[in-house]
Chain A
Amino acid sequence: MNDDLHARLTALAEDVTPVDLHSRVLATSRKLAWQRSALAGSVALTIVGVIAGSALALTPTLRAVTPADSPSPAATLPTPTPTPAAALSTSPGPTGTAIDLANSTLDIPAWPGDNSAPCQGTKTLTDGVAPGATSGPTRHIALGKVVTGDVNHDGKLDTVAVILCRTGQNPLSQLVAFEAGPSGGVRTIGRIVGPAPHRTTSELATIFDVKVTDEGDIQAEVGDFTGLLDQHSAQYSQHQFRTYRWDGQKFAQHAGPTSFAKNPNFSQLIITTTDLQFGPLTGGQRTGTLKVTVHNDGAGPAWGTKLAIWAPGFVLRTGPGWDTCTPIPSGEYRVGAECVIGKLQPGETRTFTYGFSTGSANVDPAGAETYVVGRARDGEDSEGARPGSSSEAKFNVTAS
């Protein structure tokens, strides 16, 4: 982490003067309401709609405390296997009692791909929550489902919990086993499973549910997508049941699938382009074309696909290829256009040819960045619960 930069940004941010915006906010809100009623359904509001859709997503992702054996956040999901969860009264069973993790000091294992201070190290939980960041957005430890069983086969009752790093957005989750420490505290046995360091749609991203069998195996229901709301994670994830077992040193996967196939709920745009190739100067003009290939490599449709094409300021857009495009306001150094492509089915590839002309003998873009960026939604509407996909390709400008 770049601590210097954080400190300097914090110092700079303190320069802003606090003002009371309340009356201005209400005035703007009234104006928005009027615009919305007058322009309902217009393109101008599509962006707002995307964001408004996200509003539903921004709910707290987990209740603070989940007592052992209570319904999980994904309680409506099917039971992983017929194997019953370990019961506290199983006999003969492990000795000891369940730890009250919700009000304990816990040593939280490191989070793959996230080492921000509020979610790692020793944390004291009160009613299932540990204090988090003191500034900026929410980020703190929260306790998810808690179950018990003898998972390290030492004859004593262990406690297994879904630990969440609540971030205000997509929470991180890992499954951790704890046991009573020798001096009365709680000792961390180890992480059973956590999210992949860099989440992709093919890797484990979230943990929905957990059970411990009489044999001490840990059965986890996992998914490949973590949304802003638990219900979105459940709705758009591919659900798998994986079993983990203590091998004497650490927890390792014992059964179940180890990876996810492409998720049919998500698109994956891939944009490629040729160079913008101009022909010779003829009658004081050069003409050239740029071929852009748009491929949906995902298993889900790419809805509402759009391209933004940026070319140097000395060119003009010509030809029929631009029929679905509108200019993007830009300065004299760049020409920009947004082109509506529409829906691409999984695996579909389309190629578009865009024409340009210029009277310039020199076609060196002189530092102007020339590129195509594409963006698509994962759903038909602008729900905002799924991230959509984007891709970008740079191109050179050449002349013969």
Chain B
Amino acid sequence: MPSIADEFDSFVRTRTPALLRSAYLLTGDQHLAEDLVQSALARTHRSWKRLHEVGNAEAYTRKVMYHLQVSWWRKRRVAESMPGDLPDRGGVDTTTATTLKITLQQALLKLTDKQRAVLVLRFFEDHTEAETAELLGVALGTVKSQTAKALARLRTVAPELALANGDVR
């Protein structure tokens, strides 16, 4: 029978890739994503015995991750932008997947931490507005307004993404 330590080891190794994917969208950077996941998992480790008993360690880790990334009073901290402007598109097929990916990455970094978190929760992790509000510890109305602002901002800074207007579900 595996020990509790073994089970934490297994949890880290099996869930880190998925956690890193969300963290990468939140931070836009491999190293920042690693730091964020590392911090969240360390807190999970502190509570592992209890989490192990109740059985939803990943949800806990994700919640910690979002809280670490989005402190309530830093809600509008300007995200650090990557140097340079959008890629030179002269002669390049702007519809290629790679170009669109770079465009999206740079556009995400032009959002605030909270706007990015709302987008990732709503459209990557498929949480409802109510769940997103609960996870981030904000009002439902804030989630709605931040989602609308984030989508509007994305459309402005990266019209080539051709994002749909509606986000109702």
Contact = CB atoms under 8 A, between A and B. Distances in A.
A14 to B, nearest CB: 7
Interface in A317-339: 328, 330-331, 336, 338
A181 to B, nearest CB: 29
B126 interface: yes
Interface in B2-26: 9, 12-13, 16-18, 20-25
B138 A338 contact: no
A13 interface: yes
B61 to A, nearest CB: 9
A136 interface: yes
Nearest to A168: B59
A59 B43 contact: no
Interface string A127-139: 0000001011111
A388 B137 contact: yes
A4 B161 contact: yes
Contacts of B18: 135-136
Nearest to A135: B18
Contacts of B75: 373
A6 to B, nearest CB: 5
Nearest to A117: B126
Interface in A121-176: 133, 135-139, 167-170
Counting chain A residues whose Cβ lies within 8 A of the other chain, the interface size class is 35 or more
Given A9-B124, A137-B125, 13 more contacts: A2-B151, A18-B17, A21-B12, A25-B41, A51-B64, A55-B47, A59-B54, A167-B127, A168-B56, A169-B59, A373-B75, A375-B72, A389-B139
Contacts of B42: 25-26, 28-29, 31-32
Given A4-B162, A4-B163, A167-B131, A33 B71 contact: no
A44 to B, nearest CB: 12
Interface in B125-169: 125-131, 133-135, 137-140, 142, 151, 154, 161-164, 166-167, 169
Interface of A: 1-6, 8-22, 24-26, 28-29, 31-33, 36, 47-48, 50-52, 54-56, 58-60, 113-116, 118, 133, 135-139, 167-170, 198-200, 228, 306, 308, 310, 328, 330-331, 336, 338, 369, 373, 375, 387-392
A33 B48 CA distance: 13
15 contacts: A2-B164, A5-B119, A12-B108, A16-B24, A16-B33, A51-B63, A51-B64, A54-B63, A60-B55, A118-B126, A137-B126, A198-B130, A228-B134, A373-B73, A388-B137
Contact of A8 (B38, B73, B100, B169): B100
Nearest to A392: B142
B72 A308 contact: yes
B17 A308 contact: no
Contacts of B55: 59-60
A12 B34 contact: no
Contacts of B50: 55-56
Contacts of A389: 139
B22 A13 contact: yes
A33 B45 CA distance: 10
Contact of B24 (A2, A13, A56): A13
A51 B57 CA distance: 12
Enumerate the 9 nearest inter-chain pairs by beta-carbon distance, A residue then B residue, closest first: A59-B54, A28-B42, A16-B24, A13-B21, A308-B73, A29-B45, A58-B56, A29-B42, A9-B124
Nearest to B74: A328
A388 B55 CA distance: 25
Interface centre among A13, A330, A387, A392 (most CB of B within 10 A): A13
Between A58, A118, A139, the greatest number of chain B beta carbons within 10 A of the residue's beta carbon is seen for A58
Contact of B166 (A2, A26, A36, A47): A2
Contact of B131 (A8, A22, A170): A170
B126 A20 contact: no
